[in-house]
Structure 1
Amino acid sequence: MASQDPAAGNFKPDCNIVVIGAGIIGIACALSLSRLGWRVLVLDKQEPGMGASYGNAGHMATEQVFPIADASILMRLPKMLMDPMGPLRLDWRHFPKALPWFAQLLWNLRPAPYQASVAGIRSLNEASLYAWHRLLDSVNGGHLLKKEGSFLIYEDERSREAIDVLESRLDAQQVAAEYWQGDAVRTIAPQLSKRIKGGLFFPETAHVVDPWQVVDTLTKAAKANGVRFQRDEVLTGKVDDRGVNLKMANSPAIRADKVLVACGAHSAPLTTALTGTRVPLDTERGYHLMLPREKERLPVAITSLERRFIMTPMDEGLRLAGTVEFAGLHRPPNMQRAWQLHRLSQGLFETDLDTADARPWMGFRPSLPDSLPIIDSAKDGKVLLAFGHHHLGLTQAAVTAELIANLAIQGDSPTSSTPHYQPDHKPYRLTRFSSYPSE
């Protein structure tokens, strides 16, 4: 571990950058940083990709440029508290702790901050697929991404108005969306029920054939490029004039020149310890149900407007996902919510989906009340931050890695390489939460 030169009295760091978090964002960042010449160590208490990255919906949701909630959330709050199977669920036991977060969310629904959130999400999403193509092509993983579009379908004629309104809003944001009649949708997905009246087709979206395989491919490339991995939990950290010191659960302290906090829903305590800023980070508990007998059911990802869930084809089957539960990090999962996804699918197809050998899952998605991630540099560049992407973590991972690489080389870069994506990162700064009250 860290060594000390008795003559000089100086610590020699274990590595240039420690990446805390081995999810899709942490791994993508670690690979990008190593390609700049940094010595990188990735820390996580789980194997790479075994957190939220393992179970995401697999949809590259570039069309989703609007925040996670709108003003209607106030009217839905009673049902959120009372209905344990609802598509948006708030556990009443978590409500007191979540109340400040929801207050911040409502504050951000005012016109100016809401539009700022839309602009920030759109900026990342517009660059996301290009960044993913660059990243996957660089590791011979282009086959893992299928850019074949996706659908948002509806069944009730009364929903046509909502579809038209959404299409107009997306057009105003320059998001490509095409209205298709039900028969046209069934030319692409013939097993869908005739009750499907139509929907929006999003040509600039994609899906991955296996989220975990994407992480694994990037992990192997990172290891081949010299990135080291260590399974351990970071308890806390401290920044001083020489770098960063991390206290570990099961091993000696680790010193580095810089640290990147990219541990998703678990990022808030470390961010506070390292920067002194408290962030209002909560977790969206996401569920999925994997159906291994349904590999051929759909060719592209399809979301139901009324039922509020998504179905994504993958190499190992059809993944049903998309419900949101606010219940914190510590309550046990309610796997009935995963099985509810199958009940939601009934009626969408001419024949019901086969649940034989189905596997339920739950994971934590990090969510900030303005629906924007934190992608920033603090403490004179010693602390880098990349978390809070809520349900867009997969979508925005590659472009986040390019942003983080750009922030890292603003200091003493060991190479002259320049990342591809260099927008204004103001919308994603940590300082937007500098006035957030302490507990």
Structure 2
Amino acid sequence: MTQMLSDFPSINSNASDLPSFAVVGAGVIGLCVALEAQRKGYAVTLMDSNEPGTAASFGNAGYLATELVEPLATPSTMRDAPKLWLNPNGPVCIPWKHLPKAVPWYSKFLATASDARSEHGTRVISALNRHSVSAWRRLLEDLNAQQLLVNVGNMVVWEDPKKKNDAHALIEKMARHGLSCEFVEGQRLAELEPELSQQLSHAVYFPEAYRLTDPFAVCQRLFNEFTLRGGQYIQQKVMGIEASKDSIQIYLEAQKAHPFDQATICAGAWSKELLKQVGLNVPLEAERGYHLTFPEKQQQHLRHMVLSADRRFVMSPLDSGLRVVGMSEIGGTSLPPIKKRYAVLNKHTKALLPKAYSPGKEAPTEWMGHRPTLPDSLPVIDQHPKFARLSFAFGHQHLGITHAALTAELLLQKLQGEPTTVSLNPLRVDRF
């Protein structure tokens, strides 16, 4: 279904004379923005060097993580950081080859770890989370694809019985953010997750937790609808962008300039270099994450999404199979995966779900991707401070799937001068 530039002698031409809109980046954010722009009356051209939905959007756990309300940089994170970094089976790793390039990012990360800054970030993330599920419902209803969002529930689990106070503290925190959950152990825990219960002491259960059936399958559905509605897709790398008050010029691999009335950069971890070309320097880093995916028939091992508080990884029973997701590395976009990270994920999964490794079971596939992460864990949803025709939607770190549909709504509200559902002032591109 991919269409190349040669298919379009003039990629801005359209018989209806609609204003032209370029979306750079065909991940879940870009796809949602492209569809929302179409609904608002634009002729949209989507651009990416990859097939739609095959970068970071492909490999996540697929669930709307509305319980993740805190930014990465908090005082408690700083207290735990040495222990996390030194643990060979822990969730954090530093690829030393990339460290010199990442020093400016770490400096800003540390600066945001104060009580005041982390509380501010929590308020903003919580506000975005509150509207995320309803935004996905609106998007999927418009596509007649409501079945792609399912309520399967989420569990945060502990193996150590001495950490029951942690579970109750989580319940109190979630109540402050309007999230319903309950403490479970014993028979109730066994009923909810029979194959996990023997390894666990207790859990916090979120009955109103949602996931997509499969993130890549959903991206494919979004892309198919985009093209059916007249959208153009160009699988080429965007080499350059020039912004003015009158139009946006986009240069593809052929180096020919293509003018658009509006353009949005949704290129994830690759957005930083494009922003430099229009005079903006953002401290964006690629936070590498890893996953294992067990075959489809093995998803039956779990009934809910499961987040291990002790081991800090996620297991998600997607339609395509059981997906195990974890690890955080500020490692850039060019280094190869660190193979031992897959071994760590296998070790943690086997500890909680030993039947997944029974004789005769198929081995899981391995994957590594790049989360676009800013030091304060907040995305950018904004227009260029000088050139309003150029806008941005990137930097969603661990919440790209969660915030994708809402981001598209917010961005188009801003572009059309409408009141935004959530205040976008904390999400300015020039806030750093």
- Alignment TM-score, normalising by the size of structure 1: 0.89
With over 3 angstroms needed to count, the CA separation of the structure-2 counterparts of 1:317 and 1:35, relative to structure 1, is: same
Distance 1:226 1:138 in 2: 16
Query: Could you report, residue by residue, the CA deviation over 1:328-376 in whole angstroms, capped at 9, with x for unpaired residues?
Result: 1111112331242121012313634455142100110000111100001
With over 3 angstroms needed to count, the CA separation of the structure-2 counterparts of 1:242 and 1:357, relative to structure 1, is: same
Q: SS of the residue aligned with 2:299?
A: coil
| Correspondence for 1:401 among 394, 403, 408 | 408
Q: What corresponds to 1:70 in structure 2?
A: 74
- 2:322 counterpart of 1:318: yes
State how 1:20-419 maps to structure 2 within 5 Å. 20-78=24-82, 85-250=89-254, 252-274=256-278, 276-292=279-295, 293-349=297-353, 351-353=355-357, 356-378=362-384, 379-410=386-417
Distance 1:3 1:170 in 2: 48
TM-aligned CA deviation for residue 70 of structure 1: 2.4
Distance 1:160 1:19 in 2: 47
With over 3 angstroms needed to count, the CA separation of the structure-2 counterparts of 1:193 and 1:422, relative to structure 1, is: closer
* 1:288–1:321 contact (8 Å) kept in structure 2: yes
Distance 2:387 2:354 in 1: 59
Distance 2:356 2:300 in 1: 13
Distance 2:197 2:79 in 1: 31
Q: Which amino acid aligns with 2:427?
A: Y
TM-aligned CA deviation for residue 163 of structure 1: 1.9
Q: Higher mean Cα deviation, 355-364 or 58-67?
A: 355-364
Q: Could you say which structure has the higher helix fraction?
A: 2
Distance 2:141 2:282 in 1: 35
Any stretches of 5+ residues in structure 2 without a counterpart? 1-8
Q: SS of the residue aligned with 1:318?
A: strand
TM-aligned CA deviation for residue 29 of structure 1: 0.5
- 2:420 counterpart of 1:431: no
Distance 1:3 1:151 in 2: 47
TM-aligned CA deviation for residue 298 of structure 1: 0.9
Query: Could you report, residue by residue, the CA deviation over 1:400-423 in whole angstroms, capped at 9, with x for unpaired residues?
Result: 01011112212xxxxxxx79x622
Query: Could you report, residue by residue, the CA deviation over 1:237-294 in whole angstroms, capped at 9, with x for unpaired residues?
Result: 11123211112224522211111000100011112222x2211001110111000041
Q: Higher mean Cα deviation, 25-34 or 107-116?
A: 107-116
Distance 1:2 1:239 in 2: 20
TM-aligned CA deviation for residue 76 of structure 1: 4.8
Q: SS of the residue aligned with 1:130?
A: helix
Q: SS of the residue aligned with 2:335?
A: coil
With over 3 angstroms needed to count, the CA separation of the structure-2 counterparts of 1:90 and 1:350, relative to structure 1, is: closer
With over 3 angstroms needed to count, the CA separation of the structure-2 counterparts of 1:322 and 1:218, relative to structure 1, is: same
TM-aligned CA deviation for residue 72 of structure 1: 4.1
Q: Which amino acid aligns with 2:190?
A: R
Any stretches of 5+ residues in structure 1 without a counterpart? 5-12, 411-417, 434-439
Q: Higher mean Cα deviation, 332-341 or 367-376?
A: 332-341
RMSD of equivalent CA atoms: 2.2
Q: SS of the residue aligned with 2:106?
A: helix
Distance 1:3 1:145 in 2: 34
Distance 2:312 2:214 in 1: 22
With over 3 angstroms needed to count, the CA separation of the structure-2 counterparts of 1:14 and 1:46, relative to structure 1, is: farther
TM-aligned CA deviation for residue 81 of structure 1: 5.5
With over 3 angstroms needed to count, the CA separation of the structure-2 counterparts of 1:217 and 1:89, relative to structure 1, is: same
Q: Higher mean Cα deviation, 161-170 or 141-150?
A: 161-170
Q: Which amino acid aligns with 1:171?
A: A
With over 3 angstroms needed to count, the CA separation of the structure-2 counterparts of 1:222 and 1:139, relative to structure 1, is: same
- Alignment TM-score, normalising by the size of structure 2: 0.91
Q: Higher mean Cα deviation, 385-394 or 264-273?
A: 264-273
* 1:286–1:325 contact (8 Å) kept in structure 2: yes
* 2:382–2:411 contact (8 Å) kept in structure 1: yes
Distance 1:212 1:430 in 2: 28
* 1:71–1:106 contact (8 Å) kept in structure 2: no
Q: SS of the residue aligned with 2:288?
A: strand
TM-aligned CA deviation for residue 82 of structure 1: 5.4
Q: Higher mean Cα deviation, 178-187 or 387-396?
A: 178-187
* 2:155–2:305 contact (8 Å) kept in structure 1: yes
* 1:192–1:350 contact (8 Å) kept in structure 2: no
* 2:85–2:92 contact (8 Å) kept in structure 1: no
